[in-house]
Homo-oligomer: A and B are copies of this chain.
Amino acid sequence: MYSKELLKGTLTTIILKLLSHNGKMYGYEITQRVKILSDDKILIKEGSLYPALHKLKDDGLVKTDEEMVGNRVRKYYSLTEKGKLCTEEKVNELHQFIGTLQNILTDKPSIA
């Protein structure tokens, strides 16, 4: 389990990217998928996930539709058109940031 602070700033991008890759997902599914993809090192808590999803919806980046599964309602999240554009930008930015971080961790200037 990584120290919690590391996730800050990347959670939204992670959610968007998973939605982009899988089409539609529900909340619990996202937490489990991240758990698996991270080999149990990133455990997203509900108290982190749902506020993040709701903010994404408020911002118009995701939309929801509900399906009945057995006796209960399952809420699926998927990207809007705006969300698709934003995902691409955010993933690019994160990739660049990772590159910059690696330069700093080796104390090498990005510019040759």
Chain B residues positioned under 8 Å from A85 (CB to CB): none
Provide the A1-44 mask, 1 if CB < 8 A to any CB of B, else 0: 01111111110011001100110000000000010111101100
Residue of B nearest to A20 (CB): B107
Residues of A within 8 A of B (CB): 2-10, 13-14, 17-18, 21-22, 34, 36-39, 41-42, 91, 93-98, 100-105, 107-111
- Count of chain copies: 2
Chain B residues positioned under 8 Å from A98 (CB to CB): 98, 101-102
Summarize A's interface: helix, strand, loop or mixed: helix
Would you call A104 and B37 a contact (CB within 8 A)?
yes
Chain B residues positioned under 8 Å from A110 (CB to CB): 37-39, 41
- 15 more A-B residue pairs beyond the given contacts A2-B100, A3-B93, A38-B104, with a C-beta to C-beta distance below 8 A: A2-B93, A2-B97, A3-B9, A4-B9, A8-B9, A10-B101, A13-B105, A17-B107, A36-B111, A37-B103, A37-B107, A38-B103, A41-B100, A42-B100, A42-B104
